[in-house]
Structures are given as structure tokens and as C-alpha cells.
Structure 1
Amino acid sequence: MNKLKINPALVQQLLVQFIKEHTEKQGFSKAVLGLSGGLDSTVSAYLAVEALGRSNVLGVCLPHQQSSPASLSDANTVAQALQITTRQIDITPFVSSFLKTFPDMTPLQLGNVMARCRMISLYQISADEGALVLGTSNKSEILLGYGTLHG
């Protein structure tokens, strides 16, 4: 037997149940998530809609001026397919403020600043909407510690 073989239907059921239970346990009925157009946020959005219903999921697109226009287009395609509400917030002004204060940032540091600006924006929207922020990291990223805490 292949130890890496999974039952996709069972995994989907478990993840949907986890989202539903965790959202309710935290006192929420709605969720907000960053929608990048990538695989992880797309899968997270589909699972959230299955768990909470499309009217209870808000997808937030958080592009930077360096972001690929194709990513934003992909995110909008996902939102349209799921029929979820979206918001778009350009994080370029936030990131530019950091660059003025810390002009010698490395590309890695700049990428981390962008991720943190996205996290802050998601939590502000979460507070405004009374919705739980759903993380979109995959299991490998979590195991490696690659990701933005609380974002």
C-alpha cells in the first residue's frame, strides 16, 4: 500500500468540517481570506464556500504594483466562479512607506513586508466585517514555518 496515497473526498470533508467548527468555535459565521489567484487561496476559498456558504465568504485581493496582472485576473475568475464578494486593496502605498524608512531592504525583506501588509489589511477587514481570517498556507508551508503569522 502506498503510504502517500490519500482519499481526496475524505480530506475535503475533514477540512470543510474543520472550517465550519473552528469558525463557529471562535464566534463567527463569516470568513475573510486573501485571494491571490494561486492554488492555495483558490482551494481555501472553495473549501470555505462549502463550509460556510458563498454569502459568508469574502475574498480580498491585495495586489502590489509589482504583482502580476494575471494573478489578479485569476483571483477574479475564482471569485466569479464561486459567486463570492470581493474587495481589492492596493498595498503599494503601505509598502512604499516602509521603503522610505528602510531603503536598504533586501528582496526577501521586501517580500516579508508585503506579506505583513496583507496580513494587517486582512485583520482590519476582519474586524470591520465581523469575520474570521482564514489562512491559506498549505501543509508543507506550515511544516516548514514558511508563512506570515496570523495572516
Structure 2
Amino acid sequence: MAALSTAYEAKHRPTLIQQYKVAGSTTIYKGALVGVNSSGYLVPMAHGTANLTFVGIAEETVDNSDGSNGDKACNVAKSGSGVYADAGTATQADICKTVNVVSDNEVQIGTLGLTNVYAVGVLVALETTSTGVAGLRVRIDTKVN
């Protein structure tokens, strides 16, 4: 294809939400930190699982526990932030530091104890029970693929 000389309809899609095919024998829960495995199928993020690429936050629960790879799909948020359990001991001094995944609902600052290190965002706030949910508010935009 040559360089443009007129307007071109690129079929652009804003990627605030993207759909991914779910791995077989897998359940994805709404709000989970999710990634694609080496075969390209969506799975819950977990530091104990090798070769994952972080893609975002699940927008819905999808049960593909009885299915094969790709039998079901899940919508995934590619931007914004979410609150996740602190598996470490983050403090206010950790604001703007990289946050790494422990499980699909747990994160930590630093890499201590992690089998595989997957950065899932940056810490933007320490949430307390006064805001409804205690944990770390993680902005994913800078780390999502």
C-alpha cells in the first residue's frame, strides 16, 4: 500500500474496551487483572504462571470452565484504575511506583517473593475503608498491552 494521498478510513476503534477469547477450563471474574497466555488466550494474572502479557481489567465474569480455548470471550478494560488487595506493605511514599501482580486480585510494590514479575500499573492512591474498598488504587494505562 502506498502512502496516503487522500483520506483513508482506517476502521479505528478506541481501545477502552477490547474483547479477548478466554482460555479453556478457565473462569474470569469481573474486576480481575487479566492477561493473555503464550497461546493468546485470556487468563487470570498470577505471578506463578509463566509467559503472560497483561492486557487489563475484566469487565465481566465469563465461565469457560467446561469449554475449550476460545469458546467464550471476555470484555477487558484497557485504561483507568482499580482497587486491589495489597499483598505487601505499601505506604504513601510508594505513590507513582510500579505495582506488580501477585494474583488476579492482589498486587504489591516490589518483586520480593514473585516467581514471574508482571507490572500491571502504577500506584495512584492508598484506599481505605472510608472510600468503600481498602487496598491499592492502581492505574493500568501505562502498563497495559
Q: What is the TM-score when the length of structure 1 is the normalising length? A: 0.25
Higher strand share: 2
Between the two structures, name the one with larger relative contact order (CA 8 Å, sep ≥ 6). Answer: 1
